[in-house]
Structure 1
Amino acid sequence: MQIFNNNTKKLALILVGPLGCYIAYQVLFIGRYLSVEKYPLLTSAYMNGATVIDSVCALTVAALGFILSRRLGLLDDFSPSLERLSTLSLALITTGILFLLALSMYRVFGTLSPRYVVDNYHTYSFMVTNGGAWIVLAMYSALLLQLMNMYFSGVTLKNGAFLLLSLLIVSFSGGRGILILFALTFIVLLMFQRVSLVKFLIASMLAVASMGISYVIITNMRAPAAPLAPIVIAPVAPSEAMARVDELAGKKANQAGKPVAPKDAVAIDPTNSFEDLNYNAAFISEDVLSAIQGNKVEPRAYALEDAMTLFIPRQLMPSKPISTAETRALYPHVAKRGTNITFPLKANVLMHLGGWAFYADWVVVLLCQTLMILGISRRTKAPSILGFAMLFCGIGFTLIARGGIFNARLLVIVFCVLAAYVGYRALLRIETTLHANRRERLAGPASPT
């Protein structure tokens, strides 16, 4: 039984691609936090037409993507164009990833004691890329190499199992968003080759479950041993919202027959809240809108500032900033403690282009969706590194939704893709040479004429 008909596949491609990803991100990380009291500018924008405009943009992107996929005549006519990597090669890649993870942890802790690593994991997540980013990038390149093997030679039970195992290992390096990107790429590659519905569902559920469980576990392990000291904004006159909260709390206590002592209203800075930093992107969008309207920040090429020092080793430039230029501009107190704020796509576009670009994020969604569809089409018709890069960049919208399109770190991913391709072709050549030598030995010396 084939998984879906072509039209259903095209619709599924749109839903699991940039459009579906962005809708899910907006709902889970921004929409559910909207509140007039907490985020007046952002909430007012969505209450006064932004929701309707966003919905129209989403439907337009969906329609254009469906039309493009029909024109290209996708989808499951894929046939392998290169030999598959051997079991030995896949095992060596996975073992190498495990070694790199151990090296990364030893560099930070000076020990590989499992109990010590678990108890102090929050320290590791903070220090993992400080002077050791190359180790994490090498692990990402190894994952990309495995995905390239699937792109050119097809997804199988064997290479799929090795990839999921590798993803679980790399998840302990602290990365979460990018690993979801790798898992989505795996699912899309499997979807667009001839595979039964049962096998597809099993593989997809395993990929989703493993990434979901690792995301939750790693996020909890990253939690600091003690709560972050909150920044309290006081003493200020309590807002009307806080006054209502006090009134309701008083009524509830009086109903229980207990007096209530008055308390000063305080506001907690979300940049010091572990929960907000991991799941709430609404406060960032609100702060960007407020700063732009109040002329507290100037829209400019922050990503270019980051790119100018991105590839300079910290040993050669000790003063190299740890935080991004966006963080330094809007959250200087966060930059001072050596951490970083990740700006979601809409906030990132506003920081670079200004308030007029409030809906320009949908142009990015359309661009990424187009790249993904073209990448799938090229896999079927003319597989190449360009097609893989287009597919990966399209599905890479999971990172763009969370970190923005104007992000110098996307350059790092490009270099990882190129490094992975060089490694992949080199590994194929080595295997081909070894197989040829083995056949010659088995054939024996040529008989004399």
Structure 2
Amino acid sequence: MEAQKGTSLGMYIFNNTTKKLALILVGPLGCYIAYQMLFIGRYLDIEKYPILTSTYLNGATIIDSVCAFAVALLGFLLARRLGLLDEFLPSLERLSTPSLALITTGILCLLLLSMYRVFGTLSPNYVVQNYHTYSFMVTNGGAWIVLAMYSALLLQLMNMYFSGVTLKNGTFLLLSLLIVSFSGGRGVLILFALMFIVMLMFQRVSLLKFLIVAMLTAASMGVSYVIITSLRAPVAPAAIAPVAPGEATSRIDEIFGRKADRVASPEAAKESVAVDPTNSFEDLNYNAAFISEDVLSALRDEKIEPKAYALEDAMTLFIPRKLMPSKPISTAETRALYPHVAKRGTNITFPLKANVLMHLGGWAFYADWIVVLICQTLMILGVSRRTSAPSIFGFAMLFCGIGFTLIARGGIFNARLLVIVLCVFAAYAGYRTLLRIQTALYASRRERLAGPPSPT
């Protein structure tokens, strides 16, 4: 009996330790390592990116590895100090099935409204053929629709944070994520899916159920990512359906160089032609090495100077374009380093290391690991507070930690993160309001079922 008890205790400690390690691997540290390898490391080439490649060959790889190990060790020690993180008990009432269905339906209606605003039609065939136009125009005057959908997703995640993950609310969330994915957003949706997985992991759930849910979530988000990326890909001019107004198509043609005279024949279209990374669909989606190289080169040659680019963006971020027609479309970083990209009205997203260098200078090459450590700490504290003292601030800390997926891709000095913060608090206000309405409706229903008081 004692042996069985000891074995059970040993397995429990092993499972708890495994969860803490998993928290570090799926958190900011694991995310950043994966990002560095997939979007920067595999593109390193001494001929294409001489400064960046030589930097990593001359010690930067070792220093980055030491920093990563230090962040992992500090994170594990903090998680160990906080003790058990999966003793979760619901602190608020769960949203009902009608409430979850209403949220999901609202998200679908917002997506359809967004598409109709761009196309003037909801014909499935037309939308699919011209999706590249939609992905370009979706936030041009209609960003509030996308932000409303994100807020609805955050509301569902808050329901899970306070009342627990269940099969029902998990199903509604995945369905909502798939719907919102057609608005063109990909990185932020992966963030929402990760948060769902982390909250499920730190509940009392069997390993088999967790693995099944995790694999289904990963598969659905992966398929969604591939499909949306494929739909967004530029196509040959002959295959582009006419879009009204024509201005939208002409701007996209300009961005990716899709001029009819460039494709004189099918054979010519198949030829490999060197393309500037800022005009390459593949590079803009997957290659961050060229951005880091350009930042290092510009700083070395003093073509740009480190300054608060994010503050420039923040000063005009919340001013409607109708009130300020001259409001820049591109970020200050893009205007400084890639003026030709800013001229065409698009953005280059600066990864964390390049973003830190743009704001602080070359001395801050390794300062990105401080950001990783801070986000890792916030994530662990957010999980801990869900167990000990659940609140909007605990949710915000957890979201900030898992939100490192956005920071790795878009930097910490990014005015658009302010918009996400506002969405979090707007979602919380909506969540508490919906709970009150739900409670009031249940109370009213109970009173009706109870009938009038008996006469005395």
After superposition, residues 374-385 of structure 1 pair within 5 angstroms as 374-385=381-392
- The residue that corresponds to 1:144 in the other structure is 154
User: Would the alpha carbon gap of residues 102 and 2 (structure 1) be closer, same or farther in structure 2, given more than 3 Å must change?
Assistant: farther
User: Would the alpha carbon gap of residues 269 and 194 (structure 1) be closer, same or farther in structure 2, given more than 3 Å must change?
Assistant: same
1:194 aligns with 2:222: no
Shift of 1:226: 3.2
Aligned with 2:52 (options 34, 38, 42): 42
After superposition, residues 252-331 of structure 1 pair within 5 angstroms as 268-331=275-338
Does the CA contact (< 8 Å) of 2:310 and 2:413 recur in 1?
yes
Aligned with 2:62 (options 33, 39, 52): 52
Segment of structure 1 superposing worse, 436-445 or 127-136:
436-445
Per-residue CA deviations over 1:388-421 (Å, capped at 9, x if unaligned) read 0000000000000000000000000000000000
Give 3-state SS (helix, strand or coil) of 2:116's partner.
helix
Letter matched to residue 278 of structure 1: N
Shift of 1:448: 2.4
- The residue that corresponds to 1:102 in the other structure is 112
- The residue that corresponds to 2:440 in the other structure is 433
Letter matched to residue 356 of structure 2: V
- The residue that corresponds to 2:257 in the other structure is 229
Partner Cα distance (2:14, 2:440) in 1: 40
Aligned with 1:168 (options 156, 161, 178): 178
- The residue that corresponds to 1:343 in the other structure is 350
Shift of 1:303: 0.3
Partner Cα distance (1:116, 1:291) in 2: 43
Per-residue CA deviations over 1:300-335 (Å, capped at 9, x if unaligned) read 000000000101111111111111000000000001
1:87 aligns with 2:97: yes
1:11 aligns with 2:39: no
1:30 aligns with 2:40: yes
- The residue that corresponds to 1:220 in the other structure is 230
Does the CA contact (< 8 Å) of 2:119 and 2:127 recur in 1?
yes
Shift of 1:3: 11
- The residue that corresponds to 2:453 in the other structure is 446
Does the CA contact (< 8 Å) of 1:230 and 1:273 recur in 2?
no
Partner Cα distance (1:297, 1:186) in 2: 41
Give 3-state SS (helix, strand or coil) of 2:257's partner.
coil
| Unmatched tracts of structure 1, length 5 or more | 232-264
Partner Cα distance (1:196, 1:405) in 2: 36
Partner Cα distance (2:354, 2:424) in 1: 27
After superposition, residues 355-370 of structure 1 pair within 5 angstroms as 355-370=362-377
Aligned with 2:409 (options 402, 418, 421): 402
Partner Cα distance (2:192, 2:223) in 1: 15
Does the CA contact (< 8 Å) of 2:382 and 2:396 recur in 1?
yes
Give 3-state SS (helix, strand or coil) of 1:421's partner.
helix
User: Would the alpha carbon gap of residues 4 and 178 (structure 1) be closer, same or farther in structure 2, given more than 3 Å must change?
Assistant: farther
Per-residue CA deviations over 1:223-281 (Å, capped at 9, x if unaligned) read 122383299xxxxxxxxxxxxxxxxxxxxxxxxxxxxxxxxx98531000001000000
Partner Cα distance (1:384, 1:345) in 2: 29
- The residue that corresponds to 1:182 in the other structure is 192
Letter matched to residue 390 of structure 1: M
Letter matched to residue 289 of structure 2: A
User: Would the alpha carbon gap of residues 230 and 58 (structure 1) be closer, same or farther in structure 2, given more than 3 Å must change?
Assistant: farther
After superposition, residues 71-82 of structure 1 pair within 5 angstroms as 71-82=81-92
User: Would the alpha carbon gap of residues 91 and 2 (structure 1) be closer, same or farther in structure 2, given more than 3 Å must change?
Assistant: farther
Letter matched to residue 393 of structure 2: L
- The residue that corresponds to 2:397 in the other structure is 390
Letter matched to residue 301 of structure 2: G
Shift of 1:342: 0.2
Does the CA contact (< 8 Å) of 1:3 and 1:196 recur in 2?
no
**How many pairs are equivalent?**
416
Give 3-state SS (helix, strand or coil) of 1:5's partner.
helix
Per-residue CA deviations over 1:371-401 (Å, capped at 9, x if unaligned) read 0000000000000000000000000000000
Does the CA contact (< 8 Å) of 1:4 and 1:197 recur in 2?
no
Partner Cα distance (1:152, 1:266) in 2: 54
Partner Cα distance (1:266, 1:209) in 2: 34
Does the CA contact (< 8 Å) of 1:19 and 1:365 recur in 2?
yes
Shift of 1:447: 1.7
Shift of 1:4: 6.3
- The root-mean-square deviation of aligned C-alpha atoms, in Å, is 1.5
Partner Cα distance (1:386, 1:140) in 2: 18
| Unmatched tracts of structure 2, length 5 or more | 1-10, 238-255, 260-271
Letter matched to residue 74 of structure 1: L
Per-residue CA deviations over 1:120-142 (Å, capped at 9, x if unaligned) read 01110110000000000000000
1:210 aligns with 2:238: no
Does the CA contact (< 8 Å) of 2:236 and 2:258 recur in 1?
no
